[in-house]
Amino acid sequence: MKTKNLKLAIQKNGRLTEDAISFLRSSGLQFESYKQKLFSSCRNFPMEIVYVRDNDIPGYVRSGAVDLGIVGQNLVNETRPKIKKLLNLRYGYCSLCLAVPKESNIKSIRDLSEKIIATSYPNSTKYFFEKQNIKVNVIEIGGSVEITPILGVAAAIVDLVSTGSTLALSDLRIIEKLYDSEAVLLANPNSTTDLYKSKLIDKLLTRFKGVLSAKNYKYVMMNAKESILPKIKKALPGLKSPTISPLAIPGWISIQSVIKEDFFWETIEKLKKIGASDILVLPVEKLIL
């Protein structure tokens, strides 16, 4: 491992791994498959990717063992390391939830007073109940928290919920959401001020932001009569003005623009109503604003 290179830690094996790898690859970074490896060097960027347990990532970033880390916001909330969050990465969405057995007569958090709560997130759980002024007994469990109510170990659990299938399979129901989470990029403060490393981090951020911005947009091409161009321009909340080129049929033009994902169907319906035809929509790979 070259010492001058940036080091980025990602989860070795778990819920964020595949998405982290594909996010890094879509940012143009080339590196070998991570399976069975401790680290891999990027071929086209001075950076090493280090594969570690996700629980260890905030600590490695804080101590400077690595410059950057990708981790769930849930771990940041739980461990509260004094490090900088550079970016939300918009994948790995999940929520930390309080759940009880479906058949239990617990209706609200107040009914959990003096009861045992099992979780792998003791700090988040204690903080939540303290804020609500409810006294509970929080016990820390390493994994498979969902089994603890069945074993009679706890009255409720606090655990991550993504698709909800683990809760459904364990006959548990949510009574409260503590917070939402997604993958985030963390940085060691010394790395962001180091002359050499901060330049590399800026370059990396430009790439990452390019991928994230592209997710917000779709590229759209359509044909229309030239006479309706003003109406089409009005309907297109694109970046700047659309690109217009003449078609072989007199009086007809081809229009190209980008549409924000948030208004996508609304905009397409408007365009059709105005008279646009042959509408072709393509994904945007990267968008550098």
Is residue 221 helix, strand or coil?
Answer: strand
Burial 177-187 (b: 16+ CB within 10 A, else e): ebeebebbbbb
User: Minimal distance in Å, beta carbon 92 to ligand PRP?
Assistant: 10
- Cβ 36 to ligand PRP shortest distance, Å: 20
Enumerate the β-bridge partners of residue 101. Answer: 172
Q: What is the smallest separation between the CB atom of 15 and ligand PRP, expressed in angstroms?
A: 4
Q: How far is residue 132's CA from residue 122's CA, in Å, rounded to a whole number?
A: 15
Whichever of 72 and 81 has its CB closer to ligand PRP, that residue is 72
DSSP, residue by residue, 1-39? --TTSEEEEEESSSTTHHHHHHHHHHTT------TT-SE
Minimum CB distance to ligand PRP, residue 26 (Å): 23
Contact of 107 with 98, CB cutoff 8 Å: no
Distance in Å, CB of 61 to ligand PRP, minimum:
19
Residues lying near ligand PRP in the complex (CB under 6 A) are found at 14-15, 143, 146, 159-166
> Which residue is listed with tokens 């010492």?
3
Give the E-state strand segments of 120-198 in sequence order: 137-140, 156-161, 172-181, 183-187
Closer residue to ligand PRP (CB): 48 or 146: 146
* Cβ proximity to ligand PRP, 68 vs 71, nearer residue: 71
Residue 14 or 28: the one with the smaller Cβ distance to ligand PRP is 14
Query: In the complex with ligand PRP, which residue's Cβ is closer, 65 or 147?
Result: 147
